[in-house]
Structure 1
Amino acid sequence: MFVFSGTFKLMDPVGTSLIVGEYLSFFHLSFLKWAAMPMAIVLALSETFLGISLMSGVLRKFVAIATFSLCGFFTVVTALLAIYNPPMDCGCFGEVISLTHLQSLMKNLVLLAFCCIAFIPFRDYGSPKGVSKWISFSLGLLLSVALLTCSLLALPFRDYTSLRPGTRLTASLEDSAPAEIQAVFIYGKDGVEKEFTLEDELPDSTWTFLRSETSAPRVESVPLSIRVPSAEADVYADSLLASGNVLIISTWKGQEELKPAARALLEDFSAAGGTSLHLCLTRAADEFSYMCDRRSILALNRSNGGATLIQDGVVIRKWSSLFLPSADELLALADNEALGNLSDVESRSNLLQQSYFYLLFCLLLFL
């Protein structure tokens, strides 16, 4: 449990910092939000450290006390969340698994009960024999630190945000087209009910009309609203994302100005016939700038100054600011079918995540 929880937080430290920020706001500690990222990293590393220690069997007494204390602390926290029920996610597993506050409390109570059974009374638990367990512990910890470093410098190798690759973007309610409504008519005969649409014909006249129902087709999509900076009012430009090839450079902290490499990439993409956008929180001086809210920008790309490719309203691929693609690579992707690009991204992210967990558990269980 601790290994999975800590690893998912290490995989997405920016997302974990957002969750920590929500906790700080709930406890009226908003003045500490500047420390949300360091606190998120410490929390993720602590959970991973405890999980790896429990599996490898090192530092047994210290880990037993620390695990019991951490479970007790989070049980109290989630009890308060269950009582007051604030509109926030518990964040136990980052954005990978979403639990209600009551579900999170029940999970912590079960873990706390297991800790009581396993660790109380806190006496000598012995020590691992040989050095193999210490080697596996050290390698597992190094692997976790490497994961954190890659996530901070690049992007999470598996995206669990609401705007992950494969998500279709929708315009705001003012610009979106109404969903197509389908009418269904329920007829019955000899105790059997059957659905018919307007295009269907009844088998015979002995069927009796019972009721009618209407339904709208379910489309998995996420709204993303962008605004044109204006001195008078904000003008929405969501339709720019709906069709064609769109390249977005998103900035969400500090200086909003584009770096030379990012500006050159936007210019080359625009010259090739694509739509180039710079999403930022405030007005920027460049001709590509559009405004968007902070949470949407962070969901679109975890890297400040990172790039995102969208094809016909579907998020295809993301890059961090340190590893921006070349213009040739970007144009080659834009020429490909969206489905093919998505398949490559999904296969690579699945392989990376599975390989990481496979290597980690092999180190901990077989050394």
Structure 2
Amino acid sequence: MDKRKIANAVIVNLSRVLVGVVFVFSGFSKAVDPLGTVYKFQDYLAALGLGNTIPDALLLLCAVALSTVELAMGVFTLLAIWRRKTSKAVLALMAVMLLLSVWIYAADPVQDCGCFGDALVLANRDTLIKNIILTACAIVLARYPLSMPRMLGKNIQWMTVHITVAGSIVLSGWCLYDLPVVDFRPYHVGADIRQGMIVPEDAEQPEFETVFIMEKDGRREEFSLENYPDSTWTFIDSRTTVVKQGYVPPIHDFSITTSDGADITDDVLSYKGYTFLLIAPFLEKADDSNFGEIDQIYEFADDNAHRFYCLTSSGEKAVGHWRDITGAEYPFCFTDGTTLKTIVRSNPGLLLLKDGRIIGKWSHNLLPSLERLSGMIKTEK
């Protein structure tokens, strides 16, 4: 084999591995968190002025489909399954992703593209660079698909195709019913919320640039602080922009406010005992089918002198309606809706805290039994 053929084979297979690994990682990170992908779709729609125009059920279907396609394309590329069709499909998908990344880099409609869910957050510039590289690799694969050596026989290929597609769908379904099997967010079990909110003393600070709009003799000009004009100019307006982002702690938007406006965040996070937090981002959309189990857990907490709060972003009207239909007697507090959606991918979901640390986290579909809670609390003591 001459040097040219060797070089061609090396380039093709390096491209195959790079594209395959990235697609598998991207698909898996979305498959374990389908609701997170739905929330990212909603961010894009809001940026386009199309918020609330597409039903959540359809967005969820699209989220599962996207994760399945990405995971399948990654596996098919790595194992060289259906080489011609797969390489063309990957190139078509990367062409769309590249155009999307150019838009978000130029217009900056969202801070994170959501390519890898919460597993890996990339700046828009980094996303564009990544997609340029992957598109170049996809072009190589589409140009030389048969240079990818088959890893499996045809019979096993069909089995692999079915297992990959079905496995991805089942994984998404389970994570939707319960919670993500891998939690990439800062509110995972074992996380200390207070520690996640700390900004180190030597942390990089944000940099701002202020532009002053001044007028003289009917003529307006813009000046920076360094070349601010003399007193013969009249101040009209100013604008300040962030030119460099500083350090942002993993948890930077967590707060708890009571119905009378009191901030009890520090009190809740510093409490040495046990605190149950029922997380219901939007009570209007919350599933009330398991309210009986929730009430039992509240009574368990009350009987054992543990704290119990329901955190929501809904207003008093929705809180009153929830109380009417469930008979809830626990206190309600208010937290930002985006924060609550980040904490737990369930509406409602349940957290158990001790001294600000998350020691338990459940979907409303699989709430813990009172015996299990008693055992957990005894173990923690």
TM-score of the superposed pair, with normalisation by structure 2? 0.69
Provide the aligned length of Structure 1 versus Structure 2. 295
Aligned to 1:355: none
The answer (yes or no) to whether the contact 1:168–1:220 under 8 Å persists in 2 is: no
Aligned to 2:374: 331
Q: 2:349 aligns with which of 306, 318, 335?
A: 306
The structure-2 alpha-carbon separation of the partners of 1:274 and 1:74, relative to structure 1 and needing over 3 Å to count, comes to: same
Aligned to 2:269: 241
Amino acid at match of 1:18: Y
The structure-2 alpha-carbon separation of the partners of 1:85 and 1:221, relative to structure 1 and needing over 3 Å to count, comes to: closer
Q: 2:329 aligns with which of 276, 287, 291?
A: 287
Q: Does 1:26 align with 2:69?
A: no
**Structure 1 residues 289-331: Cα deviation after superposition (integer angstroms, max 9, x where no partner):** 2222211111221111221111101112211111111112112
Q: Does 1:105 align with 2:148?
A: no
The answer (yes or no) to whether the contact 2:64–2:169 under 8 Å persists in 1 is: no
Pairing 1:46-65 to 2, within 5 Å after superposition: 46-65=69-88
Aligned to 1:364: none
The structure-2 alpha-carbon separation of the partners of 1:180 and 1:37, relative to structure 1 and needing over 3 Å to count, comes to: closer
Once superposed, what is the RMSD of the aligned Cα atoms? 3.1
Aligned to 1:356: none
Amino acid at match of 1:47: E
1:180 Cα deviation from its structure 2 partner:
11
Q: 1:139 aligns with which of 144, 160, 163?
A: 163
1:153 Cα deviation from its structure 2 partner:
0.9
CA distance in 1, matches of 2:99, 2:377: 50
CA distance in 1, matches of 2:154, 2:35: 39
The answer (yes or no) to whether the contact 2:186–2:250 under 8 Å persists in 1 is: no
The structure-2 alpha-carbon separation of the partners of 1:222 and 1:325, relative to structure 1 and needing over 3 Å to count, comes to: farther
The answer (yes or no) to whether the contact 1:311–1:334 under 8 Å persists in 2 is: no
The structure-2 alpha-carbon separation of the partners of 1:62 and 1:159, relative to structure 1 and needing over 3 Å to count, comes to: same
Amino acid at match of 1:281: S
The structure-2 alpha-carbon separation of the partners of 1:225 and 1:25, relative to structure 1 and needing over 3 Å to count, comes to: same
1:124 Cα deviation from its structure 2 partner:
12
The structure-2 alpha-carbon separation of the partners of 1:50 and 1:98, relative to structure 1 and needing over 3 Å to count, comes to: same
The SS at the match of 2:74 is helix
The answer (yes or no) to whether the contact 1:267–1:276 under 8 Å persists in 2 is: no
1:165 Cα deviation from its structure 2 partner:
2.3
1:123 Cα deviation from its structure 2 partner:
9.3
1:221 Cα deviation from its structure 2 partner:
5.6
The answer (yes or no) to whether the contact 1:169–1:223 under 8 Å persists in 2 is: no
The SS at the match of 1:307 is strand
Amino acid at match of 1:312: D
CA distance in 2, matches of 1:167, 1:62: 44
1:59 Cα deviation from its structure 2 partner:
3.2
The SS at the match of 2:46 is helix
Identity %: 22
CA distance in 2, matches of 1:224, 1:20: 23
Aligned to 1:321: 364
**Structure 1 residues 142-178: Cα deviation after superposition (integer angstroms, max 9, x where no partner):** 222221121011111121113222333349xxxx9x9
Pairing 1:142-291 to 2, within 5 Å after superposition: 142-170=166-194, 222-230=252-260, 234-238=261-265, 239-243=267-271, 244-253=273-282, 254-255=285-286, 259-282=291-314, 283=316, 284=319, 285=323, 286-288=328-330, 289-291=332-334
The structure-2 alpha-carbon separation of the partners of 1:43 and 1:237, relative to structure 1 and needing over 3 Å to count, comes to: same
Amino acid at match of 1:15: G
